[in-house]
Structure 1
Amino acid sequence: MASSLLFLIHFLLLVFLPPNLEAAQEGERCRHNGPSIRFPFWVKAFHPDRYRYPGFELSCDKNKQTVLDLPFSVKLFVKKIDYKSQVIRLYDPDGCVPAKLPNLNLSASPFQFNEIYLGNYSLFNCSAPGRQIDLSVPCLRASAYQVYAILSMETVDDYPLTSCIKIHDLQSVPYNIFDQRGKLQLSWSKPNCSFCEAEGKICRLKDNTTEHETECVATSKTLKGHEFNKRLQTGLILGCFLLVAVPVLYHIYSSIKMKKENEVKIEKFLEDYRALKPTRYSYADIKRITNHFSEILGEGGYGTVYKGRLSDDIFVAVKVLNSSMGNGDDFINEVGTIGRIHHVNVVRLVGFCADGFRKALVYEFLSNDSLEKFISSTSSKNKTLGWKKLQDIALGIAKGIEYLHQGCDQRILHFDIKPHNILLDHNFNPKISDFGLAKLCSKERSAVSITAARGTMGYIAPEVLSRHIGKVSHKSDVYSFGMLLLEMVGGRKSIDVAVNNTNQENSPEWIYNRLNQGEELRIRIEEDGDVEIVRKLTIIGLWCIQWYPTDRPSMQTVVQMLEGGEDNLTMPPNPFAATSSTRVNANTLARRPLQQELAVIEELE
């Protein structure tokens, strides 16, 4: 919208004001304090063809930042342009230019590094170098791993690289590019307009030339004051009218168009799933079922959940979605995934409402709310569950996730396993809920591609946040389940634990260290056999949160571990160490999980 208004303003100026060389010399700007944009640089919405030199196109993003696109697919923001010295200063909004270098090909652009000495470097991802390597790249660091740049001409034997993996080769780059905090300086030699700038003249393309030849043109006034003012006043009057009318009309048009597109998308989906979908209710039915929304069960950014009644003895939970949130994808996800699932440990979707922009989901009613209420030390004072019941709940959740991964025609990845999304019925049987982030994929393939991280912080698997760790797959749900198990254990601390150590002693790393050293976990023990249950849940949870996806068990194996005895479980490697000393040596380095790639498939709509 902002770019449309900007285009409109410049269109009016072009119509009512004739070309002015002084204006061309001053240059356009994406924002008032941004760099001046003039020849050889140009923006399509600003400059006519006679000012356009190949390879120097800039753009203004939605935040009015000046952007330069470099080959291939490298976008950098423009800090300053020095037209006299022909140097452009760029910066990476993410603060990490080295991350962009593997995709950068300056040979396909008119720019070159503004440095005399260039070198070839190799980047290494190191978990535990024997001694400090001089040139590190902090912005590429991932968790316990550090990235170092080493000159390719140097002998690799001079560096302690036994704990390192080579990830990239970079050709002809300056030394200081690795420590410039997201900054990059380029120069150009052609076209050479520095002498025009030095004489206070304007550089531009020659008319009627196909060789992109340039010329220097002296500035001059082209309009007298009276004629200029008259045209300016006319343009301002018409411009003010359009600036008021166009945004209002555009907003109304966009809102109506978006709502219609979303409704068409949802209706098409519901038509395709007619044979599988649950009961469809009208909005009037929803009001009747909820007694005009009289009893609220919960509220959130997605909308509000109300208690409803289908008959005298059948209660339901009705989630009324916020009409201003999202584009309908969460609604389609929920109906398309949970609508086809029938399992004792997955919440049942009774029906739904898609009545224009009003949308609601009708679930079976579960009287004991979510698991979160029973494992949090702050909210479970009057709602405690014994360790045997918690073990049964953990087993039920695991069976539900195993069904999603293996029991359906297509594998369903939940992506948001956490205590809040585990509901409990009147017998405290767990049921997995909230499939708004779920994705479908074929069971014959191992991984799924996603365009952005999804889930809840604290439960998101490392590979969902960083593709350098591994491929996103069903093992991402295993990680979330492991964090849930450890929260079940950590949430039942003994009441004598010091307050100032609460956060530390709740952490999975603290739990691992205590368990690995044979020390007590300080967990509330109430009955005989509780110690074995706590240890079993803890060990399984630690197996599930192993850093690399390939090191985690499948949910089928997790179910077997939960059903078996504690004596059959072995202590897992430390998931919080970069790597254990027993695993990293010259023979095992090539077999690190980082090298074990899973096949990637696209999301199924």
Structure 2
Amino acid sequence: MGFSSVLLAFILVSHLPVLRSSATSCPSSIDCGSLGPIKFPFTSTAHPSCGLFPVTCDGGVPQVALGSEGITYQVSGLSDDTIKVNDPALKSLIEFTGCDFSSYINLPNTLSVSFTISPSVTFFQCLTSSPELENQTDKYFIGNYTRFRGCQGYTVYYSYPNNQVPTPGSYPLNCEFFQLPVVSSVEGRNLSDPFSLLTSDFSIGFHVSEACLACHANGGQCSHARDFQCLNDSGGRSKLALILETAISTVGIMVILLICIIIKKLRQSGCTFFWKTKTENYRNIEAFLKNCGSLSPKRYTYSDIKKITNCFRTKLGQGGFGCVFKGNLENGCLVAVKVLKGLKGNGDEFINEVATISRTSHVHIVTFLGFCFEGCHRALIYEFMPNGSLDKFIHDGGSSTYRHLGWDALYQIAVGIARGLEYLHRGCNTRIVHFDIKPQNILLNEDFCPKICDFGLAKLCPQKESIISLVGARGTVGYIAPEVFSRNFGGVSHKSDVYSYGMMVLEMVGGRKNISVEVDGTSEIYFPHWVYRHLELDEELGFHGVIDDEANASARKMIIVGLWCIQTDPSQRPSMSRVVEMLEGSPESLQIPPKPFLFSPSRSLVHCSTTLAP
């Protein structure tokens, strides 16, 4: 903060009482275009501090939001105690006879302003059926409450005519009420259908309390809270109170000014103090960029990120890391912008992903286009993958995003991922071990070409080194190799990615609870165990949807390769180069692997009776 900015703030705060006093000089009425002059509690949006409910007066149909919930109405007339409105949302509900009554909120009656809608009809929305309302007991309102309809998750009752405002405790606890306007004459209307009674053009009566009028007259602002409050009220304040307020404001701003000067001096002297983490983050990233030289990825500002994502308008997904938004570069190229939240350590995970992905260039590795590292804002920009992640194509679960893929498509995806991992393990100058291979980290382009993404947990190591020094486990449960959990199973290496790949391939084959198996109520079964037993006995695997020998061979190769990859001993797992050879070779040349001692716990598939198929 510059000295001039602090000085300006000091002057403004020091004169807050004077400024506040002058700001309360509001006219008795304000011109509002076609509505004419309007008075308190209404005001125009050009003078928001002069009333409780600003009305848009400049151009188009005037609109006003009433209450803290911001219910917006079109205004057609305004008098001393009545406002004539039209509710477009209510009009839509009436036209489509919908069930979404819950979006209509009662106008708030507070100690500042109260509202009435007359004539109206009272509705009750109950989580369960309500015998009290149906039996019309005297405990509740006098009137005939009719069960209107059962909606998803609740039941709706109504009574006509009924203008009485329910009070807490006077209706069942599992019910909420709301009142909607009805036509003034019901002649010729069907009283059994409330939609024939409702109207979106109606009048709202309002009453401003004496306390609120007095507060406004003294330059204060009535609150919308249930308990009456008069904010910024200068009425009745003594000169001594004004002097004390000015003194307190002056002392406060001087303390802030002193703190700013001290911080500036400390930073100039090289003291890291509480901004140490930020300083180290910037040093780390700047050092990385310097080492990259001309090959460094493009760096964007946070304002660039907001422009690219159109102020984060379209969200593609969300996870523990943050959110992914759809964006558009100036050249028209669609991108996915991964906006990270939180700051772990010195930003190592963020820098690790930038450093790792920027070293890659392969058809099966997602293309990295740039990043943002500005203050607390961090973002990564990747090519846009219109078909999203692989998981929504191999897990049904009743999801609306699930899409069916045939065996040939799954096979080509498995081969593509294998080639991408082969490149990471052998094709780079520095071997890259991903450590988080799973369906959620495999993206698919418009042609369903798979691309590996999310290198936040990746590890760089020299090509000649086979064992990786790793502190703690990393990855996702269900895909993590046993040696990553415990070194008793062997050293951590690129074979850990092979294990994750194998688990994912088996999930692609049988991950949709799609195994035709009959088991009794006490048995435990795990898909790799089951499929290995059938391969060993040369039994039919029960593929559904396989229409030719080629597709059958592809599915069989995926299973055998997957079982080889999940061997508990890392030395028995094939390299990714060998995996590619096995997938592209003849199924007859593949040997059945030793039965894996599965590290993952078995899972119950009781009552599972679907078929193994894409």
TM-score, length of structure 1 as denominator length: 0.51
Q: Secondary structure at the match of 1:317?
A: strand
Q: Deviations over 1:426-483 (max 9, x none)?
A: 0000000000011111111211110111111111111111111111111111111110
In the TM superposition, what are the counterparts of 1:191-230 in structure 2 within 5 Å? none
Aligned to 1:342: 361
Matched, 1:333 2:352: yes
Q: Deviations over 1:124-156 (max 9, x none)?
A: xxxxxxxxxxxxxxxxxxxxxxxxxxxxxxxxx
Q: Deviations over 1:285-307 (max 9, x none)?
A: 00000000111111111111100
Matched, 1:393 2:413: yes
Aligned to 1:104: none
Aligned to 2:334: 315
Q: Secondary structure at the match of 1:448?
A: coil
- Higher relative CO (Cα under 8 Å, sequence separation at least 6) belongs to 1
Matched, 1:298 2:351: no
Matched, 1:404 2:428: no
- Distance in 1, Cα, partners of 2:519 & 2:323: 35
Cα gap change, 1:290 to 1:521, in 2 (>3 Å): same
Of the candidates 426, 451, 474, which is equivalent to residue 431 of structure 1? 451
- Distance in 2, Cα, partners of 1:311 & 1:500: 61
Give yes or no for contact 1:309–1:315 (8 Å, CA) kept in 2.
yes
Cα gap change, 1:378 to 1:506, in 2 (>3 Å): farther
Shift of 1:341: 0.6
In the TM superposition, what are the counterparts of 1:397-546 in structure 2 within 5 Å? 397-491=417-511, 494=514, 507-529=527-549, 530-546=551-567
- Distance in 2, Cα, partners of 1:284 & 1:309: 14
Give yes or no for contact 2:397–2:512 (8 Å, CA) kept in 1.
no
- Distance in 2, Cα, partners of 1:557 & 1:380: 35
Aligned to 1:549: 570
Letter in 2 for 1:345: H
Aligned to 1:25: none
Give yes or no for contact 1:490–1:506 (8 Å, CA) kept in 2.
no
In the TM superposition, what are the counterparts of 1:106-255 in structure 2 within 5 Å? 255=274
Shift of 1:377: 3.1
Letter in 2 for 1:433: C
Matched, 1:264 2:283: yes
- Distance in 2, Cα, partners of 1:577 & 1:365: 37
Of the candidates 284, 287, 294, which is equivalent to residue 303 of structure 2? 284
Q: Whose Rg is larger?
A: 2
Give yes or no for contact 1:277–1:340 (8 Å, CA) kept in 2.
no
Runs of 4+ in 1 over 4 A off after TM superposition: 379-382, 492-506
Letter in 2 for 1:574: K
Q: Deviations over 1:368-398 (max 9, x none)?
A: 0011010113257750111011110000000
Cα gap change, 1:270 to 1:537, in 2 (>3 Å): same
Shift of 1:485: 0.7
Aligned to 1:360: 379
Letter in 2 for 1:372: D
Q: Deviations over 1:341-361 (max 9, x none)?
A: 110000010010111221110
- Distance in 2, Cα, partners of 1:534 & 1:467: 33
Give yes or no for contact 2:394–2:511 (8 Å, CA) kept in 1.
yes
- Distance in 1, Cα, partners of 2:480 & 2:444: 23
Give yes or no for contact 2:546–2:552 (8 Å, CA) kept in 1.
no
- Distance in 1, Cα, partners of 2:598 & 2:422: 28
Cα gap change, 1:403 to 1:511, in 2 (>3 Å): same
Give yes or no for contact 1:367–1:425 (8 Å, CA) kept in 2.
yes
Structure 2 unaligned spans of 5+: 1-262, 264-271, 600-614
Give yes or no for contact 1:405–1:474 (8 Å, CA) kept in 2.
yes
Give yes or no for contact 1:277–1:335 (8 Å, CA) kept in 2.
no
Cα gap change, 1:542 to 1:275, in 2 (>3 Å): same
Q: Deviations over 1:479-530 (max 9, x none)?
A: 1111011101112555866699999555322222232222333443332133
Q: Secondary structure at the match of 1:366?
A: coil
- Distance in 1, Cα, partners of 2:282 & 2:303: 18
Aligned to 2:96: none
Give yes or no for contact 1:415–1:455 (8 Å, CA) kept in 2.
yes
- Distance in 2, Cα, partners of 1:487 & 1:254: 50
Of the candidates 566, 582, 586, which is equivalent to residue 565 of structure 1? 586
Q: Secondary structure at the match of 1:274?
A: helix
Cα gap change, 1:471 to 1:392, in 2 (>3 Å): same
Q: Secondary structure at the match of 2:329?
A: strand
Letter in 2 for 1:450: L
Q: Secondary structure at the match of 1:468?
A: helix
Aligned to 1:383: 403
Cα gap change, 1:477 to 1:350, in 2 (>3 Å): same
Cα gap change, 1:492 to 1:269, in 2 (>3 Å): same
Matched, 1:274 2:289: no
Q: Deviations over 1:144-193 (max 9, x none)?
A: xxxxxxxxxxxxxxxxxxxxxxxxxxxxxxxxxxxxxxxxxxxxxxxxxx
Shift of 1:273: 1.8
Cα gap change, 1:357 to 1:503, in 2 (>3 Å): farther
Q: Secondary structure at the match of 1:447?
A: coil
- Distance in 2, Cα, partners of 1:296 & 1:551: 43
Q: Deviations over 1:13-49 (max 9, x none)?
A: xxxxxxxxxxxxxxxxxxxxxxxxxxxxxxxxxxxxx
Give yes or no for contact 1:489–1:523 (8 Å, CA) kept in 2.
no
Q: Secondary structure at the match of 2:451?
A: strand
Q: Deviations over 1:303-335 (max 9, x none)?
A: 111000014641000011113445311111111
Q: CA RMSD in A?
A: 2.6
User: Percent of counterpart pairs with the same letter?
Assistant: 54
Give yes or no for contact 2:372–2:379 (8 Å, CA) kept in 1.
yes
- Distance in 2, Cα, partners of 1:323 & 1:276: 28
- Distance in 1, Cα, partners of 2:404 & 2:520: 24
Q: Secondary structure at the match of 2:327?
A: strand
- Distance in 1, Cα, partners of 2:416 & 2:345: 32
TM-score, length of structure 2 as denominator length: 0.51
Aligned to 2:109: none
Shift of 1:552: 0.7
- Distance in 1, Cα, partners of 2:520 & 2:383: 42
- Distance in 1, Cα, partners of 2:418 & 2:598: 26
Shift of 1:262: 2.1
Q: Deviations over 1:257-293 (max 9, x none)?
A: 2222222222222222232222111111000000001
Aligned to 1:202: none
